[in-house]
Structure 1
Amino acid sequence: MMTDELNNGKSLEPMHKRLIEDAYRSRTFSLDAVRERVIAQFLLETSGRDDLLTTYADEKVRRQAIRDAAEYVIATEYLILSTEEKRWLLQQVHDDIFQLGVLSNALQDPTITEISISNRQEIAVRHGFGELEPYDAAFDSSNHLEQLLTYALALVGVQVGTDPFLEVGLTLAKRIIRLSLTGPPVMPSYSGLIRLHPFEPLTFEKMSDIYPETLQDFLQRIILSGYGLIIVGEGGMGKTTLLGNLLQFTPPNTAVVQRAAEIHPTLIPLHVTAYNSIPKQGHPTLAFESQIQAAIQQQPLAIFIDEIQGDEEKTFWPLLHATNIQVVMTFRGRSNPRRLHSALSMAIRKADRALPQEEIDQVLLNRLPFVVFLSQLEAGSAPRVELISQWAMSEGNLILEPLLVWSKGQAGPQRTHIPSRLSL
């Protein structure tokens, strides 16, 4: 039951504190208590219903399901709500269920770039590129946390419990996020990291302070040359952002494969075919590899991959060894050339442990000749390109030669005296 008549002074109260009467004026509820009642009813109706979860990627379907639960509570409790109150109620219930409840405000805060969930009570956030700070919020229980994760992941058709490790990209509160989870049986309850991208995509034009024209031009020349490129950096260093911006320089027949669908759609040109990994069943890496295989079968001129983690033994080596497709990829790791060489060699050997190092080195030299390292040069500063280098052979060993170096205290990257393969 609804009415648009408000009691005197009622409109001045914070919405969640407004008192709602039943039709007989025998009971009074706060609107926040009604919200909790609707959430409980929704969870009761849908818990364990995988057939319903698969439909909630459609916003109209999930909002109608929330409306149905709200109408049931309003009718059975004989409540009287104004149109404004009901609109607030439906939106709050939607955000609580499908935008991780107590984290919905953090998701909408543009200054927050990362949310760490250690358990239901220990939550921390990172503002900008600063340190993690405790966040004053908690989930009701471990089961409550799991329920909200279940509904959030339902938005992209992913089921909690398919694997103890999940890495998924989705949009919450109109913001692209990367959700990395660890759960049972590896951990007693779910913990994870949420990396939040800006509401609007970061373009080279918006990042001219960390991507000056000289740097943009050099990167553009690499892509236009057809040479392969590895973008290396730890989590949150801007690998995906850089990869997305480089798509504008790609040839007409290009594919992009994303492990977590984090590249903003507006950065993907019309001539680029996007393949996104959605781990509905089985191991997430298998889903990711199947997308790489699907892209290879289309025989594109270039394939952009975000990100290689070293466990793609069925596709990584065949892509480099058996095709001539230009490969541009991100790789998670520190800005350490020796460690990168070792990590790439280990990733390739997963496909064939008998591969001689000389063959691996030749493939890296010819197929992925350029490497970009991203890092924070100073604590709290925005990550940027620290080094652009190229593989080269020196006395029988594969090494990285520095081409552009951006050292601490310098206004921009400095070109070294070493000739680039681009000029050969």
Structure 2
Amino acid sequence: MQFDEMNGVNNTQSGQAEAAMQSHSFTNTVKLEKEWKNRIYEQLLKVMDLSLIDNLEPADARNQIRDICQQLIQQESIPCNQATRIQIVKQIEDEIMGLGPLEPLLADASISDILVNGPQSVFVERGGKLEPTDIRFNNDQHLLNIIDRIVSTVGRRIDESSPMVDARLKDGSRVNAIIPPLALDGPSMSIRRFAIERLDMQGLVDLGSMPEELVPVFEGIVKARLNVLISGGTGSGKTTLLNILSGYIPKDERIVTIEDSAELQLQQPHTVRLETRPPNVEGKGEVSQRELVRNSLRMRPDRIVIGEVRGGEALDMLQAMNTGHDGSLTTVHANTPRDALSRIENMVSMSGVNFPMKTLRSQISSAINIVVQIARMEDGQRRMVSLQEINGMEGDIITMTELFKFERQGIDENGRVKGRYTATGIIPAFYDHLKKRGIELHYRLFDEF
């Protein structure tokens, strides 16, 4: 019995030693592969004029890089198998033509966010949850080169005089980068992935993000030209819902979209997309969202869609909604529908125009018809948690009526949030407005369920 126990201990120790050796071997292989890649990359820079690549088609450029790399590997007599050689060549291709170490992450459709916290720390978000990766950059300069490549393609810059920037990738993914001296631990970058497969309202229903009963309600709201404000926190899905709602806008209407960094994917044929511009090296040439909102009013829009209000443009947006540009859509960062209206009040004050509080709230209550609150919960699921209608004013207070809500009931054994969607049983004031426009909604949609 004692012998068996000792034998079991020896087997365990042997297994641990073997696992440690395998881990050590893998680490050495990765290290050698990185050294070989750097050596071939340096040789490539000596024999190939990379400035000529800009004049080639991407596929032709990659073929040339691949051929030269394979010749250099043979000349250097690097002792590695075919799979490792292919991996080294692919990494060099990505380094020159793409975003280097980030390319495998960008190719993974399951990743929604890529978060680079310096050259040695890269995290991703899958299914609403963060997880670390084994992706590494060589050093700060390596990461800075990738950031500069991203921002320069959209005519923006990042340096010590302008150490933070918003940009986008070719596929529309949103990028934010910040570098020293503002970032103390080295360059930092976050990439909000652009959805390749566009979600529709039924997709949100299938994901459990909203109830099926709301689909015809949202369709009616947009087609009846009600002004909608989508409220939520960072990463809660505001832009996704804005995209989906914009799909209900009739194709014969002229739409002007205004964004800090273009993300919207409107499918209508008559869409004009506007994007802000940061100041140049001399601090001139900046074009703000407020200027674009003002200019859009002269462009004969049927609808104005603002990616997100975050400053003085809120005043111009309210005035547009109140002067014939109904059916407008926008988003705002806020935790509740009531907070969303308070944020609009604060942003109007940023415009420099002083309104009496009652007058300002009266403008807000007549401009915005619907507030949709969405949230990302701790299980990673995005959900619509409240749909409220703005009714008007009572004294100095904007009155709101909740029509639908998500009732949270706890957490299940898998850590998922339990709950149900329910209507409050209140028939909205916009019901008759929809009916006059030929949009019929059955009363039972608003019955408690």
Say if 2:150 is the partner of 1:152: yes
CA deviations on 1:88-141 (whole Å, 9 max, x unpaired) are 7665334234543222222222222222222222222222112x2222222211
- Displacement of 1:168 in angstroms is 2.2
Q: Alignment partner of 1:406: what SS?
A: strand
Deviation at 1:79, TM superposition (A): 6.8
Q: Does 1:423 align with 2:424?
A: no
Question: How far, CA to CA, are the matches of 1:76 and 1:135 in structure 2?
Answer: 28
> Which secondary structure does the structure 2 equivalent of 1:300 belong to?
coil
Correspondence list, 1:268-283, <5 A: 268-277=267-276, 279=278, 281=280
Cα 1:163–1:287 shift into 2, 3 Å:
farther
The answer as to 2:178 corresponding to 1:179 is no
Measured after TM superposition, the shift of residue 288 of structure 1 is 4.3
- Equivalences for residues 205-354 of structure 1 within 5 A: 205-209=202-206, 210-251=209-250, 252-263=253-264, 265=265, 267-277=266-276, 279=278, 281=280, 286=287, 288-308=289-309, 310-311=310-311, 313=312, 315-321=313-319, 323-326=323-326, 327-334=328-335, 336-354=336-354
Distance in 2 of aligned mates of 1:299 and 1:217: 29
The AA in structure 2 aligned to 1:36 is N
- In 2 relative to 1, CA 220–346 (structure 1 residues): closer, same or farther, beyond 3 Å? same
Which residue pairs with 2:8 in the alignment? none
C-alpha separation in 1, matches of 2:284 and 2:164: 8
Aligned residues of 2:122 and 2:134 also touching (Cα < 8 A): yes
Corresponding residue for residue 380 of structure 1: 379
Q: Does the 8 A contact of 2:151 with 2:168 survive in 1?
A: no
Q: Does 1:165 align with 2:164?
A: yes
CA-to-aligned-CA distance 1:156-175 (integer Å, 9 cap, x gap): 3333237333222323xxx5
Residues in 2 aligned to 1:277 and 1:290: alpha-carbon distance in whole angstroms: 9
Please tell me the residue identity of whatever aligns with 2:174: R
RMSD of equivalent CA atoms = 4.0
Distance 1:125 1:285 in 2: 33
Report the AA paired with residue 318 of structure 1: D
> Counterparts of 1:73 and 1:419 in 2: how far apart (Å)?
68
TM-score by length of 1: 0.75
Are the structure 2 counterparts of residues 259 and 41 from structure 1 closer, same or farther at C-alpha, using a change threshold of 3 Å?
Answer: farther
Shift of 1:74: 5.4
Question: 1: distance between equivalents of 2:238 and 2:286?
Answer: 19
- Structure-2 change in CA distance of 1:393 and 1:144 (3 Å): same
Say whether 1:191 aligns with 2:185. Answer: no
Q: CA deviation at 1:62?
A: 9.8
- In the alignment, the residues of structure 1 paired with residue 47 and residue 180 of structure 2 have an alpha-carbon distance, to the nearest angstrom, of 25
Do the aligned partners of 2:202 and 2:215 also contact (CA within 8 Å) in 1? Answer: no
Aligned residue number for residue 137 of structure 2: 139
Letter in 1 for 2:318: L
Instruction: Identify if the C-alpha distance between structure 1 residues 243 and 412 changes in structure 2 by more than 3 Å, giving closer, same or farther.
Output: same
Q: Is the 8 A contact 2:259 2:306 kept in 1?
A: yes
How far did residue 387 of structure 1 move? 0.7
SS at match of 1:249: coil
Q: State the 1:388 CA deviation.
A: 1.0
Give the 3 Å change call, closer, same or farther, for CA 354–291 of structure 1 in structure 2.
Answer: closer
How many angstroms apart in 2 are the aligned matches of 1:142 and 1:154?
18
Q: Is the 8 A contact 1:261 1:276 kept in 2?
A: yes
Residues 413 and 198 (structure 1), Cα distance of their counterparts in 2 relative to 1, 3 Å cut? farther
2:421 aligned with 1:412, yes or no?
Answer: yes
Identity %: 20
Pair 1:287–1:33, CA change in 2 (3 A): farther
Per the alignment, residue 36 of structure 1 pairs with 38
Which residues of structure 2 form unaligned runs of 5+?
A: 1-28, 410-418, 434-449
Distance 1:276 1:37, change over 3 A: farther
What is the CA–CA distance in structure 2 between the aligned matches of 1:133 and 1:290, rounded to whole Å? 40
Task: Report if aligned partners of 2:205, 2:212 keep a CA contact under 8 Å in 1.
Answer: yes
Decide whether the 8 Å contact of 2:231 with 2:337 is kept in 1.
no
Letter in 1 for 2:176: S
The unaligned stretches of length 5 or more in structure 1 are 1-16, 18-29
Q: Which amino acid aligns with 1:244?
A: N
| C-alpha separation in 2, matches of 1:219 and 1:412 | 15
Specify the SS of the correspondent of 1:403: strand
- Structure 2 residue 357 is matched with structure 1 residue 357: yes
Indicate the SS of the match to 1:187: coil
CA distance in 1, matches of 2:300, 2:215: 28
Structure number with greater CO (CA < 8 Å, separation at least 6) is 1
Q: Given that residues 228 and 369 in structure 1 are in contact (C-alpha distance below 8 angstroms), is that contact kept between their aligned partners in structure 2?
A: yes
Distance 2:356 2:46 in 1: 58
Separation of aligned partners in 2, 1:379 and 1:63: 46
TM-score (norm 2): 0.71
* 1:76 Cα deviation after fit: 12
- Check 1:59–1:402 CA distance in 2 against 1; reply closer, same or farther (3 A cut): farther
Question: How far off its partner does 1:371 sit?
Answer: 0.7
3-state DSSP class of the match of 1:331? strand
Higher relative helix content: 2
Once residues 284 and 218 of structure 2 are traced to their aligned partners in structure 1, the CA distance between those partners, rounded to angstroms, is 34
User: Letter of the aligned partner of 1:419 in structure 2?
Assistant: P
CA contact (8 A) 1:234 1:332 kept: yes
Call closer, same or farther: CA 1:284–1:65 in 2, change over 3 Å. Answer: farther
> What do the CA deviations read for 1:198-222 (whole angstroms, capped 9, x no partner)?
3322222322233444212211222
Change (3 A) 1:388 1:135: same
Amino acid at match of 1:177: S
Distance change in 2, residues 1:344/1:88 (3 Å): same
CA gap of 1:151–1:187, structure 2 versus 1, over 3 A, is: same
1:177 Cα offset (Å): 2.0
